[in-house]
Amino acid sequence: MPFASIRIITDDVDRLAAFYERVTGQTAARPAPVFAQFTGPGATLAIASPATVAMLGGAVGPSANRSVIVEFEVDDVDAEFARLEAELSDVVLPPSTMPWGNRSALFRDPDGNVVNLFSRPAG
C-alpha cells in the first residue's frame, strides 16, 4: 500500500500554503480556494480548510496537533535554514547533528506544526 499524503487542516489555507511555498520552493497546486497541495517524489503535503472535513463531525481541527512532524529531506540543512531563518518565528532546534547522524533543523509553521528539514549522513 503506497503512502499517498498528509493533510494539514488550517483556518488560513492561503497563509499556510504561502509558508510551505517558501519552505519547498514550489508553487502549490490550488484546485479550489479551500485546498492546496505540494506533490514531491515521496508523497503529497495537502493543506485544507475545515470545510473539507466537515462531514467528520469534529474528528480533526486546525492548530490542534502536537504529535506530528512534517519532514523534508534537503541536501544542505544549514543553507536551507539560513535561507528561511529570517521568516521563522519559532525555531525549535537550530541546525544540529542528531545522535543517529542526520543533520536537522526544526521549526514551527504558522499553525504551530513542527517542520523538520533534514539530511542523511554521507556514506
Torsion sign, CA atoms 30, 115, 15, 11? positive
φ, ψ dihedrals at 83, nearest 5°: -65, -35
CB 117 within 8 A of CB 77: yes
- Whether the predicted pLDDT of 40 surpasses 90: no
Query: In whole angstroms, how far apart are CA 30 and each of 18, 20, 50?
Result: 11, 13, 16
Task: Kindly report the CATH number that applies to the domain delimited by 68-123.
Answer: 3.10.180.10
User: What are the extents of the domains in the chain?
Assistant: 1-48, 68-123
- pTM of the shown model: 0.91
Q: What is the Cα–Cα distance from 120 to 32, expressed in whole angstroms?
A: 36
Compute the average pLDDT of residues 27-32: 98
CB 106 within 8 A of CB 93: yes
- Residue 64 confidence class, pLDDT cut points 50, 70, 90: confident
- Whether the predicted pLDDT of 123 surpasses 80: no
Instruction: Please tell me the predicted confidence (pLDDT) of residue 100.
Output: 95
- Whether the predicted pLDDT of 74 surpasses 80: yes
- Which comes out higher in pLDDT, residue 62 or 38? 38
* Fold observed for domain 1-48: 3.30.720
Which residues is 38 bridged to in the sheet? 45
Compute the average pLDDT of residues 105-113: 96
